[in-house]
Structure 1
C-alpha cells in the first residue's frame, strides 16, 4: 500500500501538477531515480494511462505541394487554429532550432542572419558541442541610432555557445549611406576575412523580412531605415527582404537601388551555400516568402501550418490569363520540381 500511495503521489505531482522530478524526490524523501521507477511502474500497472490525440493537420499535404512547386524541402509545423502570430513564431523557432542542431556538426561553418525570428530560434537552441566549427554573421547590424553590435553580437554569440563554435562578427552597418563606401569597405582585409567565411559556409540560417504585420521584422521596426528609404521601397515595389537584400514579389532584386547599399549576401551569393534554411511564421510573410522562393534563396523551409496554407492559396490566386507553372504544380503531383531553387 505504501508503494501504491507513493506511485499515486509521484504520478499526480508529475503528470497533473507538472512538478519536476527533483522537486518530487525532495518531497517524498527519495532519490530522483526512485521517482523515475515509480512513474514507470505507474504506467505499467495501469495507474497512469497516456493517450495521444493528435489534432487534424494539413501539414504533410501542404509540404508536398510546396516541395513540388519550388523544389525545396519543407517542414510544416502544426499549430492550433486560434494561435496568434507570436505563438506561431515560437513553434517555428523551436522546430528550426531542433533541425539546425541536428544538421550542424564539427568542422562546419554556419552563416546566421539576425532579426526577430533568428532571436527566437537562438532562445531555443540546445547544447551540442562541436570541434573546429564556426558561426559567421551574414549581414551588418549597425544603424544611425544604435551600433547594433550588442544586439547582433549577443544573438550570434548564443549560436557559438550552443555549438562551442568560433564566432565571426560582421562589423559593418546594415546599410551604408553610399554604395561607394560599401564597395571600398569590401576591399578591407578585416571585411574580406568575414566575407570569405560567409562564402565557405555549409549552412545559411535566415528568415524573411516583412514591412508590416503583428510581429514586425526587426529591420523595419528598429530604426534601420529612414523615411526616405521606406518611400523608396514603396516606389520600387519591394515586398520584403532576405538578409537585408530587398526583393520584389517576382523575386527580382538586382536593379534595386537600396541593395547597392546593403551588406547581406544576395540570393545569388546565398545559392553557393549548400543548405539554406529559412524559418517563417506570420501572414505578413506570405508575399515576401514567395519572392524569396522565386529568387531561389531557400533549400529548406520551416513554416507554420497557417502561413503554409496562405502561401498555397496565394499562389493559386495568382492568375494572369492562364495558370502559372506554380499553380499547375500545386494542383498536380510531380516527381520533378517545376521551379528550381538553384
Structure 2
C-alpha cells in the first residue's frame, strides 16, 4: 500500500509541474498508480506546496469590468485578449467563456431562450454536455427570409443547444420579418405560434448578441438576405444602430416607433426584460454602438465581452451613472 509522504508529494509535484512529465510516467517512477499521483498533486495544491496563478500580460480586464458594471448595473465578464488578436480569436475566446457560464447557470426544469446569429453559433460549438431533466430550449426569433427558408441554419443552431443539455427543443417556424404588420398579427393568433410564444415567456435565461448595421463585418441579419437595400436605407434614416433578436434599436435604446419593428418576430425589449437572466455575448469593434444601445434599453443582466471591445465601450460611454452597481467578473 502506498503511504503518502511529504517527499512523495514534492516529487510528484516537481515531476508534473517542473519537468512536464505525464501522470503515467510519474506513477512508474514512484511505483504507484495514476490515481495516487492525481491525489498527490491535489494535496500539493491544497497544502500550498504548489500555487497556480494566471497572469495575463498587462490586461485591463478587471478595471474595465468594474467600470461597465458600475455604469450599467450589470454583471460583466471581460475576456482578456491581446490588442493584436484577430476577430476570429476574440470571438472564440468570448464564445468559450459564454458557453462555460451558460453551462453553470442552466439546469433541470429551466427554459433557455436562444437567438440565432454568428456569435451564438460560435457559443454552441463550445458547449460542454450537461444532461438535464425537464429542461427546454426555445428559439427566440424567426429565421426565414426572402432568399431561403433560413430554417436549416437556425434549426441546427438551436438544436445544438438542446443536444448539449439534453433538453426539449422548440423551433420558431416563422419569417425573421413579415412583409406586413397585419400578417404578423394574424400569425400571432395561431395556436402553433402561440405555443412557442408562451414557451418564450417562460424563459429563465435568454442568450443573444447584438447585430450591427454598419461595420467591416456585417451581422448575419444584414448580410444574409433578411433585409433589402430599401430596408437598410430606412433603418439608417431612422437612426438605427443595430438590433437585439432582430428588433431594431437607436443609439439611445429607443425602439417603439421604428417602423420595421412592427414586422419583426423577435421579442420586443419590453418582452425580453421579463426574462430574469439575459446574457449578451459580444466580440467585435463594430458591435460597440449596438451594444451601448442594448445597455441603454436595459436588455442585459450579464455581459460577456472581449477586452478590446470593452475598452471601446468604456470610451464611448464614460462616467454613465447607475443606481445599483453589480460586481464585475473576469474569467
How high is the TM-score relative to the length of structure 2? 0.84
Q: Quick check: 86-95 or 130-139, which moved more?
A: 86-95
Aligned to 2:164: 162
Alignment map for 1:21-60 (pairs within 5 Å): 34=34, 37=37, 52-60=54-62
Contact 2:214/2:241, CA 8 A, preserved across alignment: no
Aligned to 1:300: 302
Aligned residues: CA RMSD: 3.4
Aligned to 2:324: 336
**Mapped partners of 1:315, 1:53: distance in 2:** 28
Please point out which of 170, 173, 179 is paired with 1:171.
173
Q: 1:201-228, CA deviations, whole angstroms, 9 ceiling, x for partnerless residues?
A: 1000000001233443111111111111
Higher relative contact order (Cα pairs below 8 Å, separated by 6+ residues): 2
Alignment map for 1:10-89 (pairs within 5 Å): 34=34, 37=37, 52-89=54-91
Alignment map for 1:120-199 (pairs within 5 Å): 120-199=122-201
Contact 1:249/1:288, CA 8 A, preserved across alignment: yes
Aligned to 1:246: 248
Structure 1 pair 74–145 and aligned structure 2 pair: CA distance change class (3 A): same
Aligned to 1:324: none
Query: What residue ranges of structure 2 are gaps of 5+ in the alignment?
Result: 1-11, 45-49, 327-331
Aligned to 1:227: 229
Alignment length, in residue pairs? Answer: 314
**Mapped partners of 1:283, 1:296: distance in 2:** 21
Specify the SS of the correspondent of 1:263. coil
Q: 1:71-107, CA deviations, whole angstroms, 9 ceiling, x for partnerless residues?
A: 1111111111110121111111110011011000000
How high is the TM-score relative to the length of structure 1? 0.81
Structure 1 pair 247–38 and aligned structure 2 pair: CA distance change class (3 A): closer
Contact 1:85/1:215, CA 8 A, preserved across alignment: no
Aligned to 2:212: 210
Deviation at 1:291, TM superposition (A): 0.5
**Mapped partners of 1:186, 1:101: distance in 2:** 32
**Mapped partners of 1:304, 1:51: distance in 2:** 21
Structure 1 pair 124–177 and aligned structure 2 pair: CA distance change class (3 A): same
**Mapped partners of 1:132, 1:50: distance in 2:** 38
Specify the SS of the correspondent of 1:312. helix
Structure 1 pair 174–53 and aligned structure 2 pair: CA distance change class (3 A): same
**Mapped partners of 1:52, 1:162: distance in 2:** 29
Deviation at 1:63, TM superposition (A): 1.3
Deviation at 1:54, TM superposition (A): 3.0
Contact 1:11/1:39, CA 8 A, preserved across alignment: no
